Chain A
Amino acid sequence: MTLKGGASQACAACKYQRRKCKPDCPLAPFFPADQPEIFRNVHKLFGVSNILKILKGLHPNQKPIAMRSIIDQANMRDWYPVHGCYGLIQNLQYQIQQAKEELHAIYGQLEMYRQQNQISPVPEDVPSQLELGMAPPNGSLPLFHHTQQQYSAVAALPIPPNHCSNNGGVAGYDNSGDVVPKDNVENALWMQNQYANYSSGSTIQIAAPQPLDVQQEIVQDYDELQPFFDTIDDAQSYMDSKEACDSSSESSLKDTRQSIEHAGKNELKSAAACFSLTSVN
């Protein structure tokens, strides 16, 4: 359906709804006519009215970002009808938990080595480690201490209880038993990191079968959004999925997660690659 006078083609949204695409169509910038499948996924999950409601209360600079996230979410739901983005989040959280446990074990071994080097004196008839070109017995490893500090910082980040087994004895490990505590300070840090990352000129690209090159042009300069993001209320915690993960479905979620790990791990890792951050320009 084209406009009179040979004007630009109707956007995918108006084409799908079989209506006239006005010049001020709010969805036209986000749904080009040559990519109808994008709008199809979004329409299937959200619906036009809900999308417009979401966009209505946003600043004009935020609308492209919101639409990008809506499109990403809809595409994920199309690829994974059961779990959608939530499944990917669970998978990533599980990977983080595994990595932290592995780090904890490695740091334990490193500490053991360090203690052994401090306790066991070097025999006199044995060439010193310095002569052998190795580290001194009581040598402090800047890298180790540095990474130890990093580990403490990382361990302080909230982890949902579905994936952790009671904090594993790591100092500073925050496990309140909730998915993510609403008023957790670490969550505020997480929120700041999130917005800082988005405002550093990076954007989430979807490596879909049909590349969304057009979408990149729509995204505005994220540096302008930094002052706005700094004022985000720390109470805006949306990782608390207590209502979503009630006790009755926890076992099914675990089973599902196991099935995800076993059968869909490669697929979810591939989907995570779709959300790899790249910098604009």
Chain B
Amino acid sequence: MKMASSSYSNPPCAACKFLRRKCLPDCVFAPYFPPEEPQKFANVHKIFGASNVSKLLNEVHPNQREDAVNSLAYEAEARMKDPVYGCVGAISVLQRQVIRLQKELDATNADLMRHACNEMANNSTLPGANPGHNENNPGFYYPSNYNPWSGGPSGDHDQGGGSSV
């Protein structure tokens, strides 16, 4: 009686299972699309296509492929749930939130500096005030001056030689 060789081999990855093909040992999808997560590949395949994903994975370094697959899976799921905006809508929302928080930080820092100035003025006017009294004053909390919006895109250093086809 013949024994099925497939019973002794690794189960096919989610990609090969979806595509109904034999999962070879050198399958590019196998490390990143385990059979326990069929929906992950289904989403990626539906939005981007298996061939596009395969080409993209072959263009990045092997130790970056897992990150690439995860980002593709995220974007695919976002596009599935929102065909109009996909994950790009989230970017605009987050950008607004960053700007709002930055404004709040600036205003709050101004408040803090005003309080700190008042505290220092009170301490300096108190008779016999000891220098140790200033231990309660932690000092200024330096304002955040990071500006996320500066310049234009300079690309990823991982990008190898452009994307000319």
Which residue on chain B has the smallest CB distance to residue A193? B93
- Judged by a CB distance under 8 angstroms, whether A57 is at the interface is yes
Whole-angstrom distance from the CB of B4 to the nearest CB of chain A?
Answer: 29
Docked-complex contact B88 and A69, CB < 8 angstroms? yes
Docked-complex contact A249 and B95, CB < 8 angstroms? no
Q: Point out the residues of chain B lying under 8 angstroms from A264, CB to CB.
A: 156-157
Chief secondary structure at chain B's binding surface: helix
Complex CA distance for A78 and B85, rounded to whole angstroms: 18
Residues of A204-262 at the interface with B, using a CB-CB cut-off of 8 Å, are 204, 207-209, 236-241, 243-246, 249, 252-253, 256
Give the contact-size bracket for chain B. Answer: 35 or more
Docked-complex contact A245 and B74, CB < 8 angstroms? yes
Docked-complex contact B155 and A83, CB < 8 angstroms? no
Complex CA distance for A85 and B49, rounded to whole angstroms: 18
8 tightest A-B CB contacts, nearest first: A86-B71, A238-B81, A244-B74, A92-B94, A99-B101, A113-B115, A69-B88, A244-B73
Complex CA distance for A84 and B90, rounded to whole angstroms: 13
Q: Point out the residues of chain A lying under 8 angstroms from B149, CB to CB.
A: 269, 272-273, 276
Q: Point out the residues of chain B lying under 8 angstroms from A193, CB to CB.
A: 93, 96
Docked-complex contact B56 and A69, CB < 8 angstroms? no
Q: Point out the residues of chain B lying under 8 angstroms from A47, CB to CB.
A: 48-49, 51-52
Taken residue by residue from 66 to 108, chain B's Cβ proximity to chain A (1 for < 8 Å, 0 otherwise) reads as 1110111111011111111111111111111110111011011
Taken residue by residue from 60 to 96, chain A's Cβ proximity to chain B (1 for < 8 Å, 0 otherwise) reads as 0010011001101100011111111111110011011
Complex CA distance for A266 and B39, rounded to whole angstroms: 34
Docked-complex contact A238 and B101, CB < 8 angstroms? no
Complex CA distance for A154 and B154, rounded to whole angstroms: 31
Taken residue by residue from 128 to 165, chain B's Cβ proximity to chain A (1 for < 8 Å, 0 otherwise) reads as 00000000101001001011111111111111000111
Q: Point out the residues of chain A lying under 8 angstroms from B152, CB to CB.
A: 207-209, 270, 273-274
Residue in contact with A40 in the complex, picked from B81, B91, B107, B163, CB distance below 8 Å: B163
- Per the CB 8 Å criterion, the residue count for chain A at the interface is 103
Residue in contact with A143 in the complex, picked from B40, B59, B90, B111, CB distance below 8 Å: B111
Chief secondary structure at chain A's binding surface: helix
Docked-complex contact B101 and A82, CB < 8 angstroms? no
Docked-complex contact A45 and B48, CB < 8 angstroms? yes
Residue in contact with B163 in the complex, picked from A78, A197, A270, A272, CB distance below 8 Å: A78
Other A-B pairs beyond A40-B165, A114-B115, 14, CB < 8 Å: A44-B52, A46-B52, A47-B48, A83-B67, A83-B68, A92-B94, A103-B101, A106-B105, A106-B111, A106-B112, A129-B118, A147-B107, A154-B100, A267-B156
Given contact pairs A96-B98, A269-B148, A89 touches B67 in the complex (Cβ within 8 A): no
Complex CA distance for A239 and B67, rounded to whole angstroms: 17
Residues of B7-59 at the interface with A, using a CB-CB cut-off of 8 Å, are 37, 39-40, 46-49, 51-52, 55-56, 59
Docked-complex contact A236 and B82, CB < 8 angstroms? yes
Docked-complex contact B119 and A46, CB < 8 angstroms? no
Complex CA distance for A58 and B66, rounded to whole angstroms: 32
- Judged by a CB distance under 8 angstroms, whether A173 is at the interface is no
Q: Point out the residues of chain B lying under 8 angstroms from A100, CB to CB.
A: 101
